[in-house]
């Protein structure tokens, strides 16, 4: 298993580290007021199963940009774990994002898996 580990929040998105078996695993230590973000190009009709858990609540979303609009196929505030399936509606660059609004660092772990 390849794991993406950040000791603090990132200021820019990171490419999803897809493995040969179409999965990606990551773990982040997200500093207060910062975020972690994974992004990847996907094609219409692809499906990505995702799940995450965190040591404390985070704001989470899956988003993409369509012109000047930002679309959110998934969005949850103050979630310490969640899972879902992204059924890709159009060819776009999609991002999974975790934001830490608390006053303490939070560790988060995520898994993405492309499904047939």
Q: Which fold has domain 3-115?
A: Jelly Rolls (2.60.120)
Mean pLDDT across the stretch 11-23? 90
pLDDT of residue 11: 54
* pLDDT at residue 13, as a whole number: 80
Is pLDDT at 1 greater than 70 in this prediction? no
Residue-wise pLDDT for 21-37, tens only, equals 999 999 999 999 999 99
Extract the tokens encoding 72. 């959110």
The answer, as to whether pTM is greater than 0.85, is: yes
């Amino acid at each position: 298993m390849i794991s993406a580990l950040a000791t603090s929040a990132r200021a820019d998105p990171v490419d999803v580290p897809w493995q040969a078996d179409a999965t990606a695993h990551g773990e982040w230590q997200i500093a207060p007021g910062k975020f972690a973000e994974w992004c990847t190009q996907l094609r219409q009709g692809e499906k990505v199963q995702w799940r995450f858990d965190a040591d404390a609540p985070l704001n989470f979303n899956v988003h993409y940009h369509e012109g000047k609009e930002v679309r959110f196929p998934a969005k949850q505030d103050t979630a310490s774990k969640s899972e879902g399936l992204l059924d890709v509606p159009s060819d776009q660059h999609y991002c999974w994002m975790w934001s830490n609004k608390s006053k303490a660092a939070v560790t988060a772990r995520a898994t993405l898996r492309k499904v047939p």
